[in-house]
Amino acid sequence: MNPTKFAPQEVLKQLEWRYATKQFDPSKKIPEDVWKVLEQSLVLSPSSFGLQPWKFFVIRNSEIRHQLLEHSWGQKQVVDASHLVVLAIKKDVSTEYVDSYLQRMSEVQNVPVENLQKLGDMVKGFVNKPVDVKDAWSTKQVYIALGFFMTCAAMLEIDTCPMEGFVPDKYDEVLGLTEKGYHAVLVCPAGYRDQSDKYATRAKVRFKTEDMVEYID
């Protein structure tokens, strides 16, 4: 059995360490090598069929981030955090998009694209649904990516704050997402907590494990 990098208790310690950061230290930036790992955690996030019906927009422009503050219920994390990630769904996933995914699979796995036709037909049958149904499915997939990103961040002691408290249509407008075929679903600032953030030292409030986890033998 291969040894794990993190001992079980170390993983638990990091999960206890993380919290939804309310105040970021704007003077502290995530090192580039650490950020590249977090970037890859988004890219490597699992999705149904592996289809990846999303795109992740990293907002580095300070002026744009200040524009977004107005549409973020005044939550200063969007301007103070080192990095701001907007997780967006690809609107109306099409059969052409499925073809592009199959082409990529062919390249990566060195399999003739013709051999992937059965898989392609199955996935195309799935995406042949009303737009609102597909977009709802894509939205659920984005939440998986958010969880992946936040967990990896915690392992690296990078603070995050998942946010639904913003105006998606205004984000789309400011960032030009609609023209690109995307729609903002979630926002996640990432960086380093400010030492004055009182929420950092508050005990986590969770129901007891036995109330949340039930074994069926």
pLDDT reported for residue 45: 98
Contact predicate 30/83, CB 8 Å? yes
The count of structural domains within the chain is: 1
pLDDT tier, 204 (very low <50, low <70, confident <90, very high otherwise): very high
What is the Cα–Cα distance from 20 to 150, expressed in whole angstroms?
A: 10
pLDDT reported for residue 6: 76
Contact predicate 143/47, CB 8 Å? no
Asked whether residue 4 is domain-assigned, the answer is: no
* CATH classification of the domain holding 103: 3.40.109.10
Contact predicate 158/30, CB 8 Å? yes
User: By residue range, what is the domain housing residue 205?
Assistant: 34-211
What is the Cα–Cα distance from 71 to 59, expressed in whole angstroms?
A: 14
Tell me: pLDDT of 4 over 70: no
Asked whether residue 25 is domain-assigned, the answer is: no
pLDDT tier, 202 (very low <50, low <70, confident <90, very high otherwise): very high
Locate the DSSP E strands across the chain.
Answer: 54-58, 83-90, 159-160, 182-191
* pLDDT digits 0-9 by tens, 14-70: 999 999 999 999 999 999 999 999 999 999 999 999 999 999 999 999 999 999 999
The whole-number average pLDDT for the span 87-106 is 98
Tell me: pLDDT of 133 over 70: yes
